[in-house]
Chain A
Amino acid sequence: MQRPVPKPSAETRSFWDAIERDALTYQVCEACGKVATYPRGVCGHCHSTRLSMRPSSGRGVIKTWTRAHRAATPAFKDHLPYVISLVDLEEGFPVMTNVTGVYAGQVAIGDAVEVRVVDRGDGVKLLQAFAATGAKV
């Protein structure tokens, strides 16, 4: 059994194409300038369809995290426990990520982190948060 794999829609394909190139991007409305929480077909603020994708620095802050001891689906059982975090990126959009390795045992709200594209281990590229370079971890 495989863990869920993201299936891009017409509206999110450019985001996932960028992920394939190891780049995190985000959507901005060209009409009102607002940043979207996630890519979509109309701006969630002014409903314009003039939207564009921009590269993110990947720099952000841990908003919250949890260490899961129960699997979401049976496919996650072999990976328990695993850490999920929500990161606020400096450009003003949120992402969900996993946290692995040494940092998974030290992650804390308010930490400066770098969100990078990482192979989940089964060929699926997803987001992972790492302690920011120079941070004390």
Chain B
Amino acid sequence: MTASARNTQAFITGVYDTAVGELPGSCCMGLHAEAALGAVADAGLTMGDIDGVLCAYSFTEPHLMLSSVFCEYMGINPLVSQALQCGGATACILLMQAMALVQSGQCRHVLVVCGDNRMTGMSRDAAVAALAEVGHPQFERPYGISVPASYGLVAQHYLHHTGSTQEHLAAIAVQTRHHAIRNPKAQRREPITIADVLASRPIAEPLRVMDCCLISDGGAAVVVSAAAQARDTRKTSIAMLGAGQGHTHEHIFAAPSLIDFGCKRSSQLAFEQAGVKAADIDVAEIYDSFTITLLIELESIGFFERGEAGPAVLAGALDLTGRLPCNTHGGLLSYAHSGAAGGLFHAVEAVRQLRGEAEARQVHEPRLAFVHGDGGIMSAHCSLVLGRI
């Protein structure tokens, strides 16, 4: 890398995630505050150093201007404050935006912060109903569409056309749980088998409850710093080497394909910018709202050929010593999913892996990590390549 390229690079200098799962007494802004202060302290900075704030959205404390609410709550007056919503792609897109803000010189230290108490702050029915609003109000929702049903439509099609099976989907749930068992913070740590997954309650065929992500309380935050400022921070700075997005549709009935999605383009753009290939990645943290989500992404991004990810997962390819250690914290399936913070947990884990802080779940000396978020029904995608340089 040339010196000038390095000088314009963005670095992740601080990360933090709160406890996750069922957190009685938690609230949206409280989780934001804890995560923000934690990430800023992890970087060795103070809130006064933060000159950019990027937020997402909340189900329990919804607001048109969540970043303004957060800055008011914290008593800070950054140069840049904005909130954006792209469903599950939001965390990665916020990080890509933070990258642009420090690379362009508009900010020195950008705080990306997300959190929500979806588990204790609302009922499960209310969470499912709120998520169902991604369905088209005229052409989908009258038929009873929900997010799980939409992914059921995707899964039925994908299995039919690629030869993957429900056992392959189950293997993803089991592997992800296996990772979570090594993570004392994970929400679900009891061992499960493929038979358990296949016998679990059907939700939207072919998906069963163990194919679906959790609903959790929790928050996370990441500090992105410009190269010059990253030198002064406390821990090993992690370079943001590449980023890309891919957008093909919002509503599943209008998707141009149920096989090829925007993750192909977003990852290609991120790999190209970083100057690396899928095969170079040492550890991957990829959005796993459902087992099918991860299966499709693994194949579309190029980590596995079409139809080969399932058998590879069964053979242990995603485990710590496998070909592509993936979702080492336990993912949305077993670690936690608390809205936009769910996607940010993947990024926090990637940074911990690259810093060598992942303890019992540490991959052996990774240098390149891949992080991916998917919003809507495989609708909006954002990929990041992070590196220890």
* A contacts, CB < 8 Å to B: 3-9, 12, 16, 37-38, 63-74, 76, 79, 81-82, 84-86, 94-98, 109, 120, 124, 126-127
Contact = CB atoms under 8 A, between A and B. Distances in A.
Contact of A6 (B137, B203, B205, B254): B137
Nearest to A110: B160
A64 B157 contact: yes
Given A64-B153, A64-B156, A66-B149, A72 B141 contact: yes
Contacts of A73: 125, 128-129, 132
B149 A68 contact: yes
Nearest to A74: B125
B144 interface: yes
Nearest to B258: A64
B215 interface: no
Contacts of A72: 128-129, 132, 135, 141, 144-146, 149
Contact of A67 (B205, B252, B253): B205
B254 A65 contact: no
- Choose among B135, B145, B155, B206 the residue with the greatest number of A CB atoms under 10 Å from its CB: B145
A96 B140 contact: yes
- Shortest beta-carbon contacts, A-B, top 3: A66-B152, A72-B146, A64-B157
Nearest to A72: B146
Given A4-B141, A12-B138, A95-B253, A69 B202 contact: yes
Interface residues of B, number: 36
B144 A94 contact: no
Nearest to A82: B144
A127 B139 CA distance: 9
Contacts of B138: 6-9, 12, 16, 38
Contact of B152 (A16, A37, A68, A126): A68
A103 to B, nearest CB: 15
Contacts of A120: 142
Contacts of A126: 142-143
Contacts of B182: none
Contact of A76 (B144, B148, B157): B144
Given A7-B138, A12-B138, 19 more contacts: A4-B141, A37-B253, A38-B139, A38-B254, A64-B258, A66-B149, A67-B205, A68-B152, A68-B203, A70-B146, A71-B144, A72-B132, A72-B135, A72-B146, A86-B153, A95-B253, A96-B136, A98-B143, A127-B143
Nearest to B141: A4
A4 B205 contact: no
Given A70-B148, A86-B252, A109-B156, A4 B203 contact: no
B154 interface: yes
Contacts of B141: 4, 72
B202 A109 contact: no
Contacts of A109: 156-157, 160
A84 B142 contact: no
B153 A65 contact: yes
Contacts of B139: 6, 38, 95-96
A5 B142 CA distance: 6
B259 to A, nearest CB: 11
A48 B203 CA distance: 42
Contact of A96 (B128, B129, B145, B203): B145
27 contacts: A3-B142, A4-B137, A4-B142, A6-B137, A7-B138, A9-B138, A38-B254, A64-B157, A64-B160, A64-B258, A65-B156, A66-B153, A66-B156, A66-B204, A68-B146, A69-B202, A69-B204, A70-B128, A70-B204, A71-B144, A72-B129, A74-B129, A84-B149, A84-B153, A86-B153, A86-B253, A120-B142
Contacts of A37: 253-254
B143 A94 contact: no
Given A12-B138, A73-B129, A86-B253, A96 B143 contact: yes
B201 interface: yes
Contacts of A74: 125, 129
Contact of A63 (B136, B145, B258): B258
Contacts of A94: 253-254
Given A67-B205, A70-B204, A97 B157 contact: no
B129 to A, nearest CB: 5
